[in-house]
Amino acid sequence: VDILDVVLERAMDLAEFVKGTAPVQARGHLMDQGRLTALYPTADLVVNCTPVGMHPGVGNSPVNSLEGMKPEGVAYDLIYNPPFTRFLGMARNQRLHTINGSAMLVHQGALTLKILTGADPPVAFMKEVINHAIAPA
């Protein structure tokens, strides 16, 4: 697992956390398009965990390119509004599999409701509400 951040210390700290909680190798790096591009040929998954590209900053992307990713690679943008970001557009142009953040939002909310109330949340209904709320106009 390679973790890139604009603050190297955060990337290193998160890598140490990952190594301490999962049986994987993890490395922290300073976010740099050159470093990211060098990692693409071996990456199965690239995840945008930043707010870059989220409403109202639509049209922005945390990366300049996804060229070099494996054809079977996956681009996951945790952003849910808009449901299709510039980052995901670049991924589709590279014929990568794409996932937006709406499922993460729904399941994070469902888990929170379960913890707070003990009740099983209506996940299917929550998905419908989110999809309706963020549907393109």
Per-residue pLDDT tens for 46-80?
A: 999 999 999 898 999 999 999 999 999 999 999 99
Instruction: Please state, in angstroms and rounded to a whole number, the distance separating the CA atoms of residues 30 and 34.
Output: 10
Q: Quick check: is 135 in a domain? A: no
Q: Quick check: is 25 in a domain? A: yes
Low-confidence stretches of the chain (pLDDT beneath 50)? none
Q: Quick check: is 7 in a domain? A: yes
Q: Quick check: is 22 in a domain? A: yes
Token pair for 17: 């956390």
Instruction: Please state, in angstroms and rounded to a whole number, the distance separating the CA atoms of residues 42 and 40.
Output: 5
Residue 4: the pLDDT is 95
Q: Quick check: is 90 in a domain? A: no
3-state secondary structure of 104: helix
Look at the chain and report how many structural domains it folds into. 1
Q: Quick check: is 2 in a domain? A: yes
Q: Quick check: is 24 in a domain? A: yes
Range of the domain at 24: 1-31
The residue count of the chain comes to 137
| % residues pLDDT > 90 (the chain) | 93
